[in-house]
Chain A
Amino acid sequence: MPIPSAVLSLVVGMALVLSGLWIGQNVELLPVAASLNAPIYDQLFKVLFSIGSILFIGIFGLLVFSLIRFRRREGESGDGVAVEGNLQLEIFWTAIPAVVVLFVGIYSYDIYDRMGGMVPLSDPHAMHGSMITSQETDGSGNAVIQASVLGTPPEPSARIWGGIGSAQASAGAPLPVEVTALQFAFLFHYPQGDITSGELHVQKGQPVELRMEARDVIHAFWVPEFRLKQDVIPGQPTLLTFTPTRAGSYPIICAELCGPYHGGMRSTVVVHEPDEFATWFEKNNTATVATAPSASSTG
């Protein structure tokens, strides 16, 4: 007895969806996750990868099936079936992508919010100059920017341009680090200890607040293992907060074309265990120590 086409379509459809879901959940394409943001990002990636796999395999399969099933045989002439349209079908394949896109958009908005991305970027009440603001989390987990009373007096018209914020900051005040991006290096300055370094040293589990400034052209601060990237634009001080969760050394990469040695503009972020970080900080705390960039960071 021939299998009804509706049953066959249902089985093929289910197999397609299951295959896509399996691929999305089991094929690893990303580097290790080393920040609080990274696992949240990876959830979105898996969803996008699953939906993308279902769509691609489905359309590719349908195309290949059509080319084989409906190919013109030797000596065959004449036309195919004169079907010019089908309103129900058209509505169906307009509605389905619209629903999928809407779902993906809302889901990614939620992910972005959980990553701290919905923090207002420019706060007219924030401060300029040495970029002295602090970012704390309120009770609901939403990040808020507060003007700090440290340092130079506020300039009400100045704007701070922030990147993503780490809304899930676990414990403690964020460690402020001033980042200067210039051709072709990142320089890190710790105002609390007056430490200047060519590498970024942070503590596992402690939020870090990067206050970034570019000296010459646009650069971009990117740590793939943190899933974070933020352009550093001359004239626009920028905040970027994150919480590292995995000890180790990870590359800091300039992602925006910044000149001939752009490919060599790399540095390292070292995520220490708490006691190691305390040791490092104490060792460098008493005097300004300019750590020479490693060979890889100078290109």
Chain B
Amino acid sequence: MTITLPPQTSSSPPGLQPQGWLRYLSFSLDHKVIGLQYMVAGFFFYLVGGALAGMIRAELVSPISDFLSREVYNEVLTLHGTVMIFLWIVPVVNGAFGNYLIPFYVGARDMAFPRLNAVAFWLIPPAGFLLIASYFIAGAAQSGWTAYPPLSLTTPAAGQVVWILSVLLLGGSSIFGGINFIATILKMRRPGLKMMQLPMYCWAMLGTSILVVLSTPVLAGTLVLLSFDIIAHTGFFNPALGGNAVVYQHLFWFYSHPAVYIMVLPAFGLVSEILPVHARKPLFGYTTMVYSILGIVFLGLIVWAHHMFTSATPPWMRLFFTIATAFIAVPTGIKFFNWLATLWGGKIALNSAMLFSCAFIVHFVFGGITGVALAQVPFDIHVHDTYFVVGHFHYVVYGGTVFVIFGSIYHWFPKFTGRMLNEDLGRFHFLITFIGFNLCFAPQHWLGLNGMPRRVAEYDPQFTLVNQISSVGALLMALSTLPFLINVFWSAFSGRVAGDNPWNALTPEWLTTSPPPVENWAGEAPLVTHPYGYGVPPGRIDLGAATGREIWSSGQ
């Protein structure tokens, strides 16, 4: 069902809102401003999380604990995981791109609930600064981003409670955002636009939001109970008081495994937008791509216990979760084959957006293969909680999402600012990031297989050389942000003027000015029912449907 859009309803009257760059510091209700607020805040926290990662890799240059104290090391690794997941990847792939693109894609002038949207963003900065401030005021949490009890009950309480409060705020932000995306996609579509005509990112965000709404409250409830155990000395998870520490693990992973898909599904959606544009081909297998998203959502919700194969899980549970986890490879594989088929026979532009997107495919395939291996109980038993998992996880979430974030910024920067990013700097940025990433995380698989556990400040000296290689890779990744930052700041003010549609793309956001006006279009929103119609002759398009190209050339 679709509803007719009322004019000038959602965004604030322009006269009452700050203009220019000041609007990005205001409580704006414009989905584009909120999207960019998510983006900039997220990137700030990426730098924070990256600095923390740098401290971890600096500590691991030598096998003894010499750079950081052991307590601080645990605080740093806890902060690193929390910041990168909850303050960088989730807010950016969901909040930033979702807010910016979804209203365009459904033909709306804003999100369904603009004020809720703004509240969702403005929960993030205080939560983030609270988390970081805890390090300086009370000492940060030390029990890792998993916060398993009883360890999280025995480390200094103040930092752990602040960590819980911060994650609760961020979880609330996620839930608000998820509700908004579901409502916007299902209820704000332009009349005449069917679900199966939406750009793929809409489907990815719909699937992601379903996961967010179903699983995040479980984490919130779990953390509230954990805080009761810490503050009021209840015994929900404390074995000494009759509680069960394994129940916490079930509840925690019920959210935190889907959290991987909450990070990765939007990245899948973004890649599905980028590849057709720069390969000049329709997205291959649209229908199966949609069903594969729904399959991933369903399977993603029933595989959490594969994180607990070495914990107290009975054999039948291990068998069920092995099979269920491994079967996620099927819908995921469909997507990868479809992306390859999208490239096949195209006119591929090897620009920065395409390079980052293709690197994502390589990395995620690698992470996916090691993921299927990890789903097998006997294999998992040996490598669980080792650097193999660290390597696998970073191939999935850094190789699988951060590369997509960078590719997406190169793709949509002209729309955000009206100016192009410099391609030479972009390719240089890609090259260093690609080399640094693989140098950093590929050797970690070997470390795990050969006996290096994760979350350790000290390790067996036989692993020194490989750890040093990994740290050099991390250094390269850190350096790679410099050309990116220079490029963004220089191009935002002095870059080549992009024009409205520099890629000659067909999705709706390109059918307005760059940057777009408040409420997105000067006139009526265009009805784009064939967003990937590259090379499609007009005669093949269904009656009443149109490609973006036709709308654009007709001057609507």
- Chain B residues contacting A108 (CB-CB under 8 Å) are 322, 376-379
- How far, in Å, is B240 (CB) from chain A's closest CB? 7
Q: Which one of B148, B323, B451 contacts A253 once the chains associate, using CB atoms below 8 Å?
A: B451
- Chain B residues contacting A227 (CB-CB under 8 Å) are 378, 381-382
Residue of B nearest to A53 (CB): B369
* CB pair A224 B382 closer than 8 Å: yes
Quick check: is A45 within 8 A (CB to CB) of the other chain?
yes
Quick check: is A230 within 8 A (CB to CB) of the other chain?
yes
Residue of B nearest to A222 (CB): B453
* CB pair A97 B312 closer than 8 Å: no
Stretch of A4-12, A76-84, A125-133 lying at the B interface:
A76-84
- How far, in Å, is A189 (CB) from chain B's closest CB? 21
Q: Which one of B326, B345, B361, B370 contacts A52 once the chains associate, using CB atoms below 8 Å?
A: B370
- Chain A residues contacting B150 (CB-CB under 8 Å) are 216-218, 234
Q: Which one of B244, B280, B285, B453 contacts A79 once the chains associate, using CB atoms below 8 Å?
A: B280
Chain A, residues 181-204, CB within 8 Å of chain B (1/0): the string is: 000000000000000000000000
* CB pair A161 B326 closer than 8 Å: no
Quick check: is A14 within 8 A (CB to CB) of the other chain?
no
Residues 66-118 (chain B) with a chain A CB within 8 angstroms? 69-71, 73-74
Chain A, residues 230-271, CB within 8 Å of chain B (1/0): the string is: 110111101000000000000101111111111110000000
Given A67-B343, A112-B378, does the pair A56, B369 have CB atoms closer than 8 Å? yes
Chain A, residues 126-169, CB within 8 Å of chain B (1/0): the string is: 00000000000000000000000000000000000101100000
Quick check: is B394 within 8 A (CB to CB) of the other chain?
no
Quick check: is B373 within 8 A (CB to CB) of the other chain?
yes
Residue of B nearest to A55 (CB): B369
Q: Which one of B286, B349, B453, B459 contacts A84 once the chains associate, using CB atoms below 8 Å?
A: B286
Residue of A nearest to B458 (CB): A263
* CB pair B315 A118 closer than 8 Å: yes
Stretch of A87-95, A170-178, A273-281, A283-291 lying at the B interface:
A87-95
Quick check: is A85 within 8 A (CB to CB) of the other chain?
yes
Quick check: is A292 within 8 A (CB to CB) of the other chain?
no
- Chain A residues contacting B287 (CB-CB under 8 Å) are 85
Q: Which one of B69, B313, B340 contacts A63 once the chains associate, using CB atoms below 8 Å?
A: B340
Quick check: is A31 within 8 A (CB to CB) of the other chain?
yes
Chain B, residues 458-482, CB within 8 Å of chain A (1/0): the string is: 1110000000000000000000000
* CB pair A117 B315 closer than 8 Å: yes
Quick check: is B212 within 8 A (CB to CB) of the other chain?
no
Q: Which one of B143, B151, B281, B455 contacts A81 once the chains associate, using CB atoms below 8 Å?
A: B281
Q: Which one of B155, B377, B445, B451 contacts A117 once the chains associate, using CB atoms below 8 Å?
A: B377
Residue of A nearest to B292 (CB): A94
* CB pair A85 B340 closer than 8 Å: no
Interface size range on A against B: 35 or more
Quick check: is A23 within 8 A (CB to CB) of the other chain?
no
A90 CA / B331 CA spacing, docked (Å): 11
Quick check: is B350 within 8 A (CB to CB) of the other chain?
yes
Given A164-B381, A216-B150, A222-B453, does the pair A66, B340 have CB atoms closer than 8 Å? yes
- How far, in Å, is B211 (CB) from chain A's closest CB? 22
What total of chain B residues lie within 8 Å of the partner, measured CB to CB?
97
Residues 213-267 (chain B) with a chain A CB within 8 angstroms? 239-240, 244-246
Q: Which one of A45, A62, A101 contacts B327 once the chains associate, using CB atoms below 8 Å?
A: A101
Q: Which one of B344, B347, B370 contacts A78 once the chains associate, using CB atoms below 8 Å?
A: B347
Quick check: is B279 within 8 A (CB to CB) of the other chain?
yes
- Chain A residues contacting B246 (CB-CB under 8 Å) are 233, 236
Stretch of B18-26, B520-528, B534-542 lying at the A interface:
B534-542
Quick check: is A19 within 8 A (CB to CB) of the other chain?
no
A118 CA / B246 CA spacing, docked (Å): 20
- How far, in Å, is B346 (CB) from chain A's closest CB? 4
Q: Which one of A41, A93, A253 contacts B334 once the chains associate, using CB atoms below 8 Å?
A: A93
* CB pair B382 A41 closer than 8 Å: yes
- Chain A residues contacting B362 (CB-CB under 8 Å) are 59-60, 63
Quick check: is B142 within 8 A (CB to CB) of the other chain?
yes
- Chain A residues contacting B445 (CB-CB under 8 Å) are 29
* CB pair A235 B453 closer than 8 Å: no
- How far, in Å, is A291 (CB) from chain B's closest CB? 21
Residue of A nearest to B151 (CB): A217
- How far, in Å, is A260 (CB) from chain B's closest CB? 4
A41 CA / B386 CA spacing, docked (Å): 17
Given A29-B449, A80-B281, A118-B315, does the pair A59, B361 have CB atoms closer than 8 Å? yes
- How far, in Å, is A256 (CB) from chain B's closest CB? 6
* CB pair B326 A101 closer than 8 Å: yes
- How far, in Å, is A87 (CB) from chain B's closest CB? 9
Residue of B nearest to A161 (CB): B312
Chain A, residues 58-72, CB within 8 Å of chain B (1/0): the string is: 011011001100111
Q: Which one of A63, A101, A257, A264 contacts B358 once the chains associate, using CB atoms below 8 Å?
A: A63
A224 CA / B459 CA spacing, docked (Å): 14
A291 CA / B456 CA spacing, docked (Å): 25
- Chain A residues contacting B366 (CB-CB under 8 Å) are 56
- Chain A residues contacting B501 (CB-CB under 8 Å) are none
Quick check: is A34 within 8 A (CB to CB) of the other chain?
no
Central interface residue in A29, A253, A257, by most chain B CB within 10 Å:
A257
* CB pair B534 A79 closer than 8 Å: yes
- Chain B residues contacting A86 (CB-CB under 8 Å) are 284-285, 341
Given A119-B315, A229-B381, A263-B457, does the pair A85, B284 have CB atoms closer than 8 Å? yes
* CB pair A90 B285 closer than 8 Å: yes
Quick check: is B2 within 8 A (CB to CB) of the other chain?
no
* CB pair B310 A163 closer than 8 Å: yes
Quick check: is A293 within 8 A (CB to CB) of the other chain?
no
Q: Which one of A55, A70, A84, A231 contacts B311 once the chains associate, using CB atoms below 8 Å?
A: A231
- Chain A residues contacting B333 (CB-CB under 8 Å) are 93-94, 97
* CB pair B151 A70 closer than 8 Å: no
- Chain B residues contacting A118 (CB-CB under 8 Å) are 315
A109 CA / B321 CA spacing, docked (Å): 12
* CB pair A259 B348 closer than 8 Å: no
Enumerate 21 A-B pairs (CB-CB under 8 Å) in ascending A order.
A29-B446, A48-B372, A59-B340, A67-B350, A70-B347, A72-B350, A78-B347, A79-B280, A82-B540, A85-B287, A105-B323, A109-B319, A164-B381, A217-B150, A229-B385, A251-B460, A257-B148, A260-B71, A260-B73, A260-B74, A263-B455
Given contacts A84-B284, A259-B142, 6 further A-B contacts (CB under 8 A): A86-B284, A101-B327, A104-B376, A117-B318, A120-B314, A255-B386
Where the two chains meet, the residues of B that have a C-beta atom closer than 8 Å to any C-beta of A are 65, 69-71, 73-74, 142-144, 146, 148, 150-151, 154-155, 239-240, 244-246, 279-288, 310-315, 318-319, 322-323, 326-327, 329-330, 333-334, 336-338, 340-341, 343-350, 358, 361-362, 365-366, 369-370, 372-373, 376-379, 381-382, 384-386, 445-446, 449-451, 453-460, 532-537, 540
In the complex, the 7 A-B pairs of residues with the closest C-beta atoms, listed nearest first:
A263-B456, A235-B239, A79-B535, A82-B535, A80-B346, A224-B451, A108-B376
